[in-house]
Structures are given as C-alpha cells and as structure tokens.
Amino acid sequence: MTYCVALKLDEGLVFLSDTRTNAGVDDVSRYRKMFTWEVPGERAVVMMTAGNLSITQGVMTRLTVAVAEEGAIDAPAENILTVPDLFRLAQVTGDLMRDLVEQHGDAIEKEGASSAASIILGGQIKGQPPRLFLIYSAGNFIECGEDTPFLQIGEIKYGKPILDRTITHQTSLDEGMRTALVSMDSSVRSNLSVGAPFDLTVVAKDRYSLSVSRRVGEADPTFRAVSDGWSAALSRAIKDLPRVDHWFDERASS
Amino acid sequence: MTYCVALKLDEGLVFLSDTRTNAGVDDVSRYRKMFTWEVPGERAVVMMTAGNLSITQGVMTRLTVAVAEEGAIDAPAENILTVPDLFRLAQVTGDLMRDLVEQHGDAIEKEGASSAASIILGGQIKGQPPRLFLIYSAGNFIECGEDTPFLQIGEIKYGKPILDRTITHQTSLDEGMRTALVSMDSSVRSNLSVGAPFDLTVVAKDRYSLSVSRRVGEADPTFRAVSDGWSAALSRAIKDLPRVDHWFDERASS
C-alpha cells in the first residue's frame, strides 16, 4: 500500500508521501510516489500516486516524456509546463489514467490484482490561486474545497483522525508539516505496508516554487523529535483527561 | 459498520462497542452489539459482535436460549453459565457461527452481501485468569496474548493508532476506559458508519462480576469531557511539537 496526504492551507500546500510498495508482505519494495515540476517564479506542480504501480508509473512516464519532447513535431500539444491551469492538467492526467486502465485493466484483474489507482495533483501557476485535486482511475476528479482542507490516498484511515481534529485553513505551513508527519507516523506504526523514507514538498502561496522539497528518513533528527514528541504528548494527554472511574461506584452502589 | 474494542489489562478487561448498524448510508439503524452474562462471585462473560447482523444475532439467540433452557431435556449440554472455561466457550461460539455461515452464507452472498462476522469474547471464571478471544466466522479463534493487549473488530483502523501508542498491560482500568473512549470517538468522527450511544463494560480482575456496565450517550457529561479534552489536548500537542520550518531555510540557502 501507500499513504499520501496533501493539505490546502491559506499559506499554501503541503504534500507528504511514503515510499513503500508491496504486492503481498513478502514482496515489499521502495518506489518514489511524489513527483514535482517547477518553473521558479511561474509555476510549481506536485503529484502523488497510489494504487496499481504499473498504471501510475505509466501516467507519470507519459507526463514526463511530454515535457521532455516539448517542441518536437509529435509531442502532445500540452504538457505540465505549458497547460494554462491546473484544472486542465487534472483533465489531461485523468484521461491518461483512464486510457491506461482501459488498455490493461482486464488483463490486470484476470491476474487477481486491482487496476485501481488515484493521483493527488496540486500546485500554483502565476496569477492563479493554489489548487488541489484528487483524480480517480476513471479519469474523473474532485477539487479540495472549503470544508475539508485535505486530501488523502492509499491507506488513509489510520492518519485521518488527527487531520479531522486539527487541520483548518488557518493552520500554518509549519504546523501543517508537523501534522502531516504525525498523520504519516500514525499510519506507519499501525500498518506494515506504509514505510519510510517519506517525501515532503511544500508549495508556499504566491512563491510559484517548491519552498520545501526533501526526503525525510526515519532517523532524521527532526522527524524523530516530532514522532517521539507526539508519543509522549499522547500518553500525557490520556493521563490528563478527566477520570471516569466514578462509573465503578455507580454500579457498586446500585 | 461497527466498532468494538476490548483491552486486556493487568487490572482486568475493558469492553466498548458502538450501536450503529448499516446496510448502506440510507439504511442506518441502532442495534446492541454487546452482550453480558454474570453469576456474581463465580463468572462474568462479555461478547461483542461485528459483521453480518443476521449471523451474529443467530449466534447470540442460540447462546441465550441455551441458558434459558438449562435443565430441559433437549437443551444443549453446555451453556455460557455452565462451560468449564472460556476457551471451551470460544469453541462452542465459533461452531455456532460456522454452522450459521454454512447454512446461510451462499444465499447471503448471492444477494451481494457479505456473511463475514466476528465476535470478541472475554471475561473471567472463578479460579481462572481473565481471558479474551477473537472468533472468526470460520469458527476458528485467537486469544489476546502478551504483546498486543487489545482486540478490535469492525471499522478498526481510525481507532488503532491511539491504542498502538498508549495501551500496555500496566495501563490502569480507569486509563483504559478513557483510551477506549478516545479510540471510539476517533472512529465516530472519521466514519459515519460508527455511532453513539456506546456500551461500556468492565470486568475487573478477580471480582467475577461486571464492575461497570453502562450505556454512554454522546451527550453524557463524562464522555463529553473526555472527547472535548482530547480535541484540546491534540491541538496543544501539535503546537508543542518541535518546529520544522528550518526546512524552508535549507532550500532557500541551497
């Protein structure tokens, strides 16, 4: 499996992905699931992928080749660096994914595997607001809106409660990064199929560049401080909750 | 869906279940999923059920009827109040569930539903230690052991991280109840198919009775204090984590 999370905050976008891929517990490997493109001062684009690796790699390869071939006679008319807006890029990406699923889906499912895949796409192009999309393998997509300022793909449940409780649009980028790391750490601890290292990217608003773009290892001192700090804080928080043992007396006296 | 969690602590057992059952988001009802039996001073037994409701209700009805019929000529030789130990009760319960799945499983699956079900069984019989089992619809079961002092059934992922981080055998019953409530509250907030009210039962060690046995509504003042206290503590904990924004400078200066 995989776990990827993206936050859409007033200060910009935060993206975090793991790097573990598995086809059963005895076939675990490490693959990059975060892809970034940058024309500093003009646009910054980030994608994260989950699901069938052959499908998502096929999409990423086609998108990357289109950028490399720009100007060649046979090159696609549009690529990541030339699309006028991210909504159009979501359409192009969704179409590529749907075509690949149509081409290979039946054969993949015949082998007992799933061809389902999903992609988170986000970033900002100069003169436009930051945008964030979730694209499904059927080619359709949704945009992250006002009410829930985050999107997740892959093994999403373990890391969802902390996001549900703490993330709002007003959350700062710094706090957003920490919360994403905690959400990821929760998934890693509770599920073998999500694993370090992690890829972290931040697209701060109106910078049109990648403000943070780094790989975070399990032994990274900042990550360790966040992870250990979180464990300690949770234990303390449970201890500080109001006691409930008056419920014992209730039954004893009834 | 459903969420049930049981903790096996040195001080005894904690059981917590929700009461929501759904066959799709437009067919949501409330059903009791926790069942208790008590012979004060001799034995206390608790079961919680998840999965196909017709299967688990069938098992519970048969177990309950067997108790009521005790002594009658056709009554089963063993019932919950007469089995010599909980291991034997896990066998009896598993056999009942397997028989029902064999009888109805094909027809259920033909309708597009799942016949899968699971039961958590725990308690203590005088002269024996407290025990806790997870019984599958195939009739097989596992016993909660030393390494992971809790069992979950149903929609388990949202509420697992807090258990993974904080529950040990040494956790007190009071802290265990609070943690179970937090685990349940996380599931409720992140998943529509889990809902209040909750049933909470505690079997304190060597009391051979139900030390706590109560229904906890969403508006219960103690539950509200735990839930609100937890939200506040999480927000504070995120704010108190080490800052990570030196990662911005790193890229700016490279």
Confidence of residue A75 (pLDDT cuts 50, 70, 90): confident
The stretch A233-245 carries a mean pLDDT of: 93
Kindly determine whether residue B226 and residue A241, on different chains, have CB atoms separated by under 8 Å. yes
Q: Which long-range contacts (CB under 8 A, 24 or more apart) does B206-209 make?
A: B206/B124, B207/B12, B207/B44, B208/B39, B208/B40, B208/B41, B208/B42, B208/B43, B208/B44, B208/B124, B208/B125, B208/B126, B209/B38, B209/B40, B209/B41, B209/B44
The stretch B52-78 carries a mean pLDDT of: 89
What pLDDT is attached to residue A100?
Answer: 95
What pLDDT is attached to residue A253?
Answer: 66
Interface test with B, best of A186, A209, A244, A247 (most B CBs within 10 A): A244
Confidence of residue A111 (pLDDT cuts 50, 70, 90): confident
Report percent pLDDT > 70 for chain B: 96
What pLDDT is attached to residue B162?
Answer: 94
B74 has pLDDT over 90 = no
A250 touches chain B (CB under 8 A): yes
**Contact (Cβ atoms closer than 8 angstroms) between residue A70 and residue A77:** no
Interface test with A, best of B172, B238, B240, B243 (most A CBs within 10 A): B238
**Least confident residue range of A75-89, A140-154, A195-209, B70-84:** B70-84
Work out how many CB contacts closer than 8 A connect A with B: 159
The stretch A70-88 carries a mean pLDDT of: 90
A210 touches chain B (CB under 8 A): yes
What's CA B175's distance to the chain center, in Å?
A: 17
B234 touches chain A (CB under 8 A): yes
Count how many residues are written for chain A.
Answer: 254
pLDDT digits (tens, 9 = 90+) for B219-250: 999 999 999 999 999 999 999 999 999 999 77
Per mean pLDDT, which of A26-40, A157-171, A185-199 is the most reliable?
A: A157-171
What pLDDT is attached to residue B76?
Answer: 83
CA distances from B127 to A70, B41, B211 (A): 79, 11, 18
**Contact (Cβ atoms closer than 8 angstroms) between residue B209 and residue B41:** yes
Confidence of residue B23 (pLDDT cuts 50, 70, 90): low
The stretch B145-152 carries a mean pLDDT of: 91
Confidence of residue A250 (pLDDT cuts 50, 70, 90): confident
* Distance between CA atoms of residues A61 and A207, nearest Å: 27
What pLDDT is attached to residue A146?
Answer: 81
B37 touches chain A (CB under 8 A): no
Confidence of residue B27 (pLDDT cuts 50, 70, 90): low
Judged on CB neighbours under 10 Å (0-12, 13-18, 19+), B213 is buried
What pLDDT is attached to residue A112?
Answer: 87
What pLDDT is attached to residue B252?
Answer: 67
Confidence of residue A123 (pLDDT cuts 50, 70, 90): very high
* Distance between CA atoms of residues B177 and A198, nearest Å: 34
B21 has pLDDT over 90 = no
Min distance A135 CA to chain B CA atoms (Å): 22
The stretch A184-204 carries a mean pLDDT of: 91
Phi, psi of B55 (to 5 degrees): -70, -50
A148 touches chain B (CB under 8 A): no
Q: What is the ipTM of this complex?
A: 0.84
The stretch A95-101 carries a mean pLDDT of: 95
Q: Nearest residue of A to residue B247 by CA position? A: A212
